[in-house]
Chain A
């Protein structure tokens, strides 16, 4: 998604609330299997602690309002509470393996660092709850209406378990079967926990830094992946207020065209499935056609959800849009994986659908931000790009454009190589990805 690793590291370190991940991905099958029951005592203890934290937070708010900075002792107590909540939720959601203890001490594999008390803007303290509403809305989708502080905004709990819950749910099956946690899901859960921790720290007046939704700076080192379907972001965050205001309506011709193209793409995908099953690889023209469709879909959704600014073209041409999809050449695919592709894609689709709710909320918040400032906030842009990349990878996998399973977590991509001179199409295919 992004290649500037140095900038990213400095952005991570600048945050007053930092999530450190030192988890080795190894999981005990029994511990995972009974995780809910094992986590219950910690959740109860956390609930008791929450009562004390609630009153401490009110005191802390009043003290910060009067003195301009939080009280050292209250800050320490509340910071420890937020750290402990992060440990418990990391354990509960399978992002970490060991028991989280009872005191919120540092050193847990998913750990939180919070800067000491610093001066805060009093206006921001007075209106803290109001200012937090956008972040609470995003948290409701990211963390779910049960895990997030945003549950107080959503009585219906319409977002259910959120991205965090779905990731944990899928990870549970994987970890029970394989005895280890998939990196993508673990990082996705860690990203959600990082956002939740920042939000709690903001709400409890531990910091006046607004929570950042940027997945690229949420956790420690990210993997650099060279997936067959990957996203390049060359967007400058500038947004035209006029096109932002009318974005939904401006996208209508594209949505109609996308629907029509989608019908043909679905038929082509069925033909491609049969052909790939027989030949072991997609026919070149179908690969190109379906890759163009997935790319066009990405362009349209990026435009609609304000992740990209310019009006996209109607052909899905590579290199035509700042939020671009790079699709590798066709490759051999495992026939068993091809045969059961629809079934195998179901978990990815489940996650993609929640990512869809997430990017919708990103778009709603981004719409207001872009309309007022003429720019899309970096955090929201990158969060949206993460969701779109996952969705594009899922469609690429389903349509047999690639045999690589979608990577669910935030990651970095290597810089694109200079375009090679065109050569005749090779007859031998590279091995399966």
Chain B
């Protein structure tokens, strides 16, 4: 008891408590949603909306991918654990100073992970091709995957350069300064993100633009760019995304959404959903959540790399990568909860803007069928991979909106 009292009396303890309180307050503020609470969604029977053969097919399709994903995670952690033990031996491949060597070790860690995960990626492509969800050639996927590793290398190099340079000066407190820098960089990349998306062009259909303008007014969003991305070369699955904030707000529609399978009202609903994200400032909110994750994560990295001399030493980099990736994996279910909450809010905003719950239900059904998604996934898969509410939850939400509208006399 006495030692506990002594510990609590340390000057750092009140600072820590204040930090935890601030963290909790920020998390509470970010948790706020535009979906009216309490909104009790009834559990719908998926067999009323999807045929038995589809449910069987999508179930087997998703189960395979879900299990494959678990194996990929296990291999990822295994490779990084081994790299954390032995990775420092690769320092002999560097003629650079400590920061350059640290960057090399960081990149090589990701390179090993890529090598270990290539078989899983290829199997996933095979599975998607087999089910007609993707028609991407294996070589194209392999080359694309290899080249996308380049952006990961740049990202990890930049992060390590910042962290190691600060660690050289601030020693164990580097993370206190590094975290705001990382958050600033995340904000910067979120802001310029729309300009980094490849293969986009303006929509050819003028109706899309006029719809976008009308929806912007309805949802209270300022001027937004609408772009169409050429995705048909890789997949037949339809999708859309919103990206950027402020003057770079952009809605990106995949051209697979505009290939004639979806009617005008459905496409309008998708746009309304994406504009809902922009109206709710979800991109900034995501940066906020990232900040809340980074603050303890970088502190933990600083703590756990002490045994290797701290992050100022390149030997500590493999350990830092392992800790970072493990924390990310642990936080994935939590991030998914946040993501699903944002998606629900965007759905709600789209319903408010379009007043088309029947179209929404039809769209959700059609999106599920074209992407061979599981309408009501298993609990563990939903927690680990579910970045969006399930199709059944989204259909139920459309019903809920209808009911609340009747109650409000809409």
Contacts and interface: CB of A to CB of B under 8 A. Distances in A.
Interface of A: 240, 242-243, 245-246, 248-250, 252-253, 256, 309-315, 320-322
A240 B112 CA distance: 13
Contacts of A314: 96-97, 99-100
B149 interface: yes
A324 to B, nearest CB: 10
Given A242-B108, A249-B107, A320-B95, A311 B100 contact: yes
A312 B153 contact: no
Interface of B: 90, 92-97, 99-101, 103-104, 107-108, 111-112, 146, 149-150, 153-154, 157-158
B309 to A, nearest CB: 20
Contacts of B153: 249-250, 252-253
Contacts of B112: 242
A218 B241 CA distance: 60
Contacts of B107: 246, 249-250, 253
B104 A250 contact: yes
Nearest to A321: B95
Contacts of A321: 95
Contacts of B149: 246, 249
Given A249-B149, A252-B154, A313 B96 contact: yes
Given A243-B108, A253-B103, A310 B157 contact: no
Nearest to A256: B154
A252 B101 CA distance: 14
Given A252-B153, A252-B154, A313 B111 contact: no
A309 B93 contact: yes
Question: Quick one: which of A242, A310, A315 has the most chain B CB within 10 A?
Answer: A310
Contact of B93 (A248, A249, A310): A310
26 contacts: A240-B93, A242-B90, A245-B111, A246-B107, A246-B111, A246-B149, A249-B149, A250-B108, A250-B111, A252-B150, A253-B107, A253-B153, A253-B158, A309-B93, A310-B95, A310-B96, A311-B93, A311-B95, A311-B100, A311-B103, A312-B96, A314-B96, A314-B97, A314-B99, A320-B96, A322-B95
B-side interface mostly: helix
B333 to A, nearest CB: 31
A312 B111 contact: no
Contacts of A320: 95-96
Contacts of A311: 93-96, 100-101, 103-104
A253 B155 CA distance: 9
A253 B95 contact: no
Nearest to B104: A311
Contacts of B154: 252-253, 256
Nearest to A246: B111
B111 A242 contact: yes
A240 to B, nearest CB: 5
Contacts of B150: 248-249, 252
A312 B157 contact: no
Contacts of B90: 240, 242
A313 B100 CA distance: 6
B157 A253 contact: yes
Per CB-CB distance, the 3 closest pairs between chain A and chain B, nearest first, are: A310-B95, A313-B96, A253-B157
A256 B92 CA distance: 23
Given A249-B153, A322-B95, 19 more contacts: A240-B90, A242-B90, A243-B93, A245-B111, A249-B107, A249-B146, A249-B149, A250-B107, A250-B108, A250-B153, A252-B153, A253-B157, A310-B92, A310-B93, A311-B94, A311-B95, A312-B100, A313-B96, A314-B99
A312 B93 contact: no
Contacts of A253: 103, 107, 153-154, 157-158
A313 B99 CA distance: 9
A311 B94 CA distance: 4
Nearest to A322: B95
A242 B109 CA distance: 11
